[in-house]
Structure 1
Amino acid sequence: MDFQQIIEAVGRYMDFAGVAVMVVGAVASIPLALRGYKPKRLPASSAPLSVYRSYRQLLGRSILLGLEFLVAADIIRTVAVTPTFESVGVLAVIVLIRTFLSFSIELEITGRWPWQKAPAPTPDSGAHPTSPAS
């Protein structure tokens, strides 16, 4: 077995791992969402998530992790095996698309872009600034 075949095999295993993470994450998220999973970053004063929202957040995290594996597999195969301008260009397009997907999913899950800091907890955590005054 030569170097190129080993790298191709590693790339295939990474692809498999990425897909497996997404599938296992989608299946494992169902019982967690049904049991009322609450993310740690969710403010204590916020209302509990519906089963649907909870499942979407868990599924989104699984997809993000799976995408990381898939990008790593593409990079391994492209860089380790004699790169051409065409293969590097295809890799660039794939990475751009997957990065856009990752940012979109992160925005959907957390309500912030990945580079934005989490909002600081307010000292008056019992009051909701968006609720009307009585």
Structure 2
Amino acid sequence: MSPIIEIIDTIALIIELLGVAVIVGGFAITSWRFFHHRMFHEQRAFMHYRHGIARALILGLDFLIAGDVIKTVIIANTGQQVATLGIIVLIRAFLAFTLHVEVEGHWPWQDSRYRRAAGGKTDDEND
């Protein structure tokens, strides 16, 4: 392999490792906050815990997708590997989409005005 390809491969690996670190770190921090909460058995604390884990997963998935795209498009761009990347990106995008709905409580294309009209709380009211 040429030195440039090796550098790009290393960069892609670092980005993927950052994604794993975000997921593991987000899970650890969110778990620590949950178990050190005075009333961690309350429903509200549990929902904050679930949302924290979902946010860490969303951000980590974004890093993992970026690393996969860099690695596949730049380094190994055979038809089979591009098709595999497409399937992986679709699965991860679907996971990120469903996690977004879980965390935010609405579809991504709906803004706070829609939620307010439907009787939901806005982001400012949730904090």
Percent of paired sites with the same residue: 34
Q: Which moved more, 1:21-30 or 1:75-84?
A: 75-84
Given that 2:18 and 2:63 are in contact with CA atoms closer than 8 Å, whether structure 1 keeps it comes out as yes
Segments of 5+ residues of structure 1 without an aligned counterpart are 37-47, 126-134
- Any stretches of 5+ residues in structure 2 without a counterpart? 121-127
* TM-score (norm: length of structure 1): 0.74
Q: TM-score, normalised by structure 2?
A: 0.78
Count of residues in correspondence between the two structures: 113
1:121: Cα distance to partner? 4.0
Please state how far the C-alpha of 1:35 moved relative to its aligned partner: 3.8
Distance 1:63 1:109 in 2: 11
C-alpha separation between the residues in 2 aligned to 1:68 and 1:27?
Answer: 19
3-state SS of 2:109 partner: coil
Residue 21 (structure 2) pairs with residue 26 (structure 1) = no
Q: 2:116, 2:95 → 1: CA distance?
A: 29
Secondary structure at the residue paired with 1:23?
Answer: helix
Structure having the larger proportion of residues in helix: 2
Structure 1 moving runs of 4+ over 3 Å: 31-36, 119-122
Distance 2:8 2:80 in 1: 19
